[in-house]
Structure 1
Amino acid sequence: MTSQTCPRDFNPMTGPDRDDPNPFYADCRDNEPVRFSATLGAWLVTRYDDLRTVVDDPATFSSRNAIPSIWNNPPEVVKVFEDAGCTPEGATVVNTDEPEHAPLRRALEHAFGGRRIRAVQPLMKRKAEELIDAFAADGRVDLLSRYADPFVQAVVSAVFGIPDSDIDLVQDWTNDQVLLWNPLAPVEGKVEAARRMVEYERYIAALIEDRRAHRREDFISDMVHGDGDTFPPMSYSDIQYVFRGLRVAGHDTTRDTITSTLLAMLQNRRWWDEAVQNPRIIPRLTEETLRKDAPHRGLMRVTTRDTDLGGVDLPAGTALLLLFGSGNRDGRTFPEPDVLDPERPNVRDHLAFGHGIHQCPGATLARTEVRIAIETLTARLPQLVLEPGWDPVYIASYFFRGLEELRASWPTAH
């Protein structure tokens, strides 16, 4: 295995990589596109073509380590789970290879397919209007905490079958799940998160039992009962871990896509004004923002055999971190990659939702949420601007790239 000496390591939790990872990505793509990170214990894959090579060859690049196991934590964290008798890790669609992957995939395609998206669209429109009604007279707002976040939480909770009264509670547990996945998070915080996750498992268990007796039109019912010959019922442990993992994926990335797209439009006023006059441009603006500022940094893979990638020899068992956000800025595929251009001909070729058999099954639902949220906001508050003096600050996250807040203002009647 060969590599140049890395000028500095990659740490998305702090320093320049938290604020703007793109200079690091560009250096990797130009000088060492497959680069080892001692901090993460994995090889970073940064060029678009190399990323496509990996995701299009699941036989060589397994997904079994795509996201960490919460059981793969320090002993004091694992002890919390063991003492409580928690369920061993089940399968998730992200971490499985074929043939186990296919039935899980079919279940998710059913859960997040066109029929359910059509059914939830009236809720999307109603919730967007209600949220704007609550702050429209104020003249200023944090669009993340008062719009994007509660909007996505309401939608994903309805699809999953989470009661409105439990939305905040489940979100707190979802944040604990993300913390336990993070290999860079402090152990003390992980122990406390593990204790809370014991309650999360019990909560999901109660939902499972309720749906066994009372089937509903929601995701957890799909998993409990299956769908005839299309896909079988899932096991208890698989439901636990699919529910938790998809609850994370269904919230953070969609919320952050809404705020990142709004930020891009407001920083490039031409496109905000265009969207006000012509809402049909919004889907292309969303795709271009997904390319330019992907909400998910990337997922892991592990090699199943000795192979070569980007000129680097990788033995079997080598861990890779696929930096989709870097591939989306690769000028070899996207000319002038730092320019927001929704009219670029390959605008949908980005990797923000992955590619191949593991492409995000909730992508259509997410795109619909983003479109309706932005359409409603541009129609209701066409004079909205970024609040003067506000500068974007990004969350400290191993997995996600999203804003801490999005401050905006607009003229009011008084």
Structure 2
Amino acid sequence: MQAMEERDYFTDYEILKDPYAFFEAIRAHGPVYQPPGRDYLIVTGFDETLEVLKNTVDYSAIIGLQGAAAPLPFEPSGPDITNEVEAHRDQFLGGDLLVNYDDELHTKMRSLLNKLFTPSRLKANEQFIEEYSDKIVREMVAKGGCEMISEVATPFVTLVIADLLGVPAEDRQLFMDVIEAAPPPGSLDAGQNDFSSATHPLVVMGGYFAGYIQDRRANPREDILTEFAHSTFPDGSIPDLNELVKMATFLFGAGQDTSAKLLGNSIRYITDQPGLQAKLRADPSLIPQLLEEVLRLEGSTKQTARLARRDTRVGGIEIPAGTKLLLSLAAANRDPRRWDSPEDFKLDRPRIKEHVAFGRGKHVCAGAPLARVEVRVILEKFLALTSDIDLDETVHGPRGNRDLNYDASFIVRGLSELRVKLKPAPRVDLTALAYGLGLKED
């Protein structure tokens, strides 16, 4: 029988859908380990993961999207391969996207992105989040239940970021349809990795964003897209239109997926942790703590990857230039050297925000503040308008023996389906609610 650590993380469906036993088998060999027959290292240690994420001098983010298993487009040679990486950047999957940028180019482009997620901007966006979440939750409660991922999570987070960016109302449904039909990032579906395909979500949405930004440059309005279209780098230079389009498109596509998965993962814990619903209803201020612990246990991103571009060390191990590293964020967040009883859910876990679910360092997820706000608000609505939330046992089995299906992605950790039953709170007039939402006829 094949040992767990000898199985292939990138092609084994069972591991992709439930990676924790695999990562624990890897951890047993130390915080940094090269599985048999693989040409990359897997980092499971919390401290070691932080060490790599924060070291942008010795490590490149160029393989962040393609993953550590994909071959390099050149043969590494020497103690510093920085120039070779840049010379072959266009041969890496997503090498021209912000998530894979390094050094000055990353710093310049990130300076534009950070302007979208300021506290004042998120506060303005929160009114839309409040209104839309109230509408969608009331509709689901009136129906008595829903499929949480496709009916709630995906449309909700898609429209939230569409509102933040200023996507015209008439185009939002098309964006939702494109995203819902696409596999998640890191899917084993080969088409997901073909960024040149006319049907790839980033290509489809990119055409629209190009039109939006060109229009705003010619016809400024009082919206974020106008601000984005007329933005400048810290040195006063003007960004290339194509760079702005790529950034806006990737932000839209990547941001909605991770937030949608966070909502689904949170609902799963709310339904299965004894007494948790009652505690959260009695004190909604605990919801942010819930989100941080869910992010630690079931973060939407299981792993990222780095390429050593200089000879270096991590965790006391020599790392030659050209070494590929799989950074298991999921394993780092369950490292027993850092977290007491790491597999247990603890609502009051000390120093919980130190998890690495959103990464760390210069490449930390820019959309993390938005994800926290939008998921918090909609959970407040679900808890306020219901007296009980439970999974549909006819689909997912009884509590303690759930049958849950996760996306087969080497990047994303998220449920592909979550059917829930919703019992309205005593003060909610279900009949009036159904009429008001057009779910019943006179």
TM-score range, shorter chain: 0.7 to 0.9
CA distance in 1: counterparts of 2:50 and 2:377, whole angstroms: 30
Q: Secondary structure at the match of 1:269?
A: coil
Match of 1:83 in 2: none
CA deviations on 1:214-240 (whole Å, 9 max, x unpaired) are: 334555434321158586542122123
Match of 1:315 in 2: 320
Match of 2:33 in 1: 35
Closer, same or farther in 2 for the Cα pair 1:26/1:290, shift >3 Å? same
Closer, same or farther in 2 for the Cα pair 1:128/1:68, shift >3 Å? same
Closer, same or farther in 2 for the Cα pair 1:369/1:236, shift >3 Å? same
Is the counterpart of residue 327 in structure 1 residue 327 in structure 2? no
- Contact 1:12-1:398 at 8 Å conserved across structures: yes
Is the counterpart of residue 366 in structure 1 residue 371 in structure 2? yes
Closer, same or farther in 2 for the Cα pair 1:58/1:90, shift >3 Å? closer
CA distance in 2: counterparts of 1:190 and 1:167, whole angstroms: 24
**One-letter amino acid of the structure 2 residue matched with residue 403 of structure 1:** L
1:53-68 counterparts in 2 under 5 A? Answer: 53-68=51-66
5+ residue gaps, structure 1:
74-87
- Contact 1:300-1:321 at 8 Å conserved across structures: yes
Is the counterpart of residue 194 in structure 1 residue 197 in structure 2? yes
How many angstroms does 1:381 deviate by? 1.1
Match of 1:396 in 2: 408
How many angstroms does 1:243 deviate by? 1.9
- Contact 1:387-1:407 at 8 Å conserved across structures: yes
CA distance in 2: counterparts of 1:39 and 1:256, whole angstroms: 32
Match of 1:243 in 2: 248
1:265-414 counterparts in 2 under 5 A? Answer: 265-389=270-394, 390=396, 391-411=403-423
CA distance in 2: counterparts of 1:234 and 1:201, whole angstroms: 16
- Contact 1:154-1:164 at 8 Å conserved across structures: no
- Contact 2:303-2:329 at 8 Å conserved across structures: yes
Which of 250, 253, 262 aligns to 2:267? It is: 262
How many angstroms does 1:396 deviate by? 1.4
- Contact 2:187-2:408 at 8 Å conserved across structures: no
CA distance in 2: counterparts of 1:170 and 1:41, whole angstroms: 38
Which of 46, 49, 59 aligns to 1:48? It is: 46
Aligned-pair Cα RMSD in Å: 3.0
Is the counterpart of residue 165 in structure 1 residue 163 in structure 2? no
- Contact 1:91-1:242 at 8 Å conserved across structures: no
Match of 2:13 in 1: 15
- Contact 2:144-2:422 at 8 Å conserved across structures: yes
CA distance in 2: counterparts of 1:39 and 1:243, whole angstroms: 39
Is the counterpart of residue 121 in structure 1 residue 126 in structure 2? yes
TM-score by length of 1: 0.85
1:110-259 counterparts in 2 under 5 A? Answer: 110-171=115-176, 173-174=178-179, 182=186, 184-186=188-190, 194-197=197-200, 199-226=204-231, 232-259=237-264
CA distance in 1: counterparts of 2:205 and 2:414, whole angstroms: 25
How many angstroms does 1:94 deviate by? 2.0
5+ residue gaps, structure 2:
72-92, 397-402, 425-429, 432-442
CA distance in 1: counterparts of 2:374 and 2:36, whole angstroms: 38
- Contact 1:291-1:350 at 8 Å conserved across structures: yes
Q: Secondary structure at the match of 2:388?
A: coil
**One-letter amino acid of the structure 2 residue matched with residue 186 of structure 1:** A
**One-letter amino acid of the structure 2 residue matched with residue 22 of structure 1:** Y
How many angstroms does 1:308 deviate by? 2.6
- Contact 1:29-1:47 at 8 Å conserved across structures: yes
Match of 1:84 in 2: none
**One-letter amino acid of the structure 2 residue matched with residue 366 of structure 1:** A
Q: Secondary structure at the match of 1:203?
A: helix
**One-letter amino acid of the structure 2 residue matched with residue 185 of structure 1:** D
- Contact 2:137-2:378 at 8 Å conserved across structures: no
TM-score by length of 2: 0.80
1:78-117 counterparts in 2 under 5 A? Answer: 91-117=96-122
CA distance in 2: counterparts of 1:240 and 1:37, whole angstroms: 39
Q: Secondary structure at the match of 1:211?
A: helix
Larger Rg: 2
**One-letter amino acid of the structure 1 residue matched with residue 19 of structure 2:** P
CA distance in 1: counterparts of 2:117 and 2:282, whole angstroms: 31
- Contact 1:64-1:96 at 8 Å conserved across structures: yes
Which of 20, 24, 27 aligns to 1:26? It is: 24
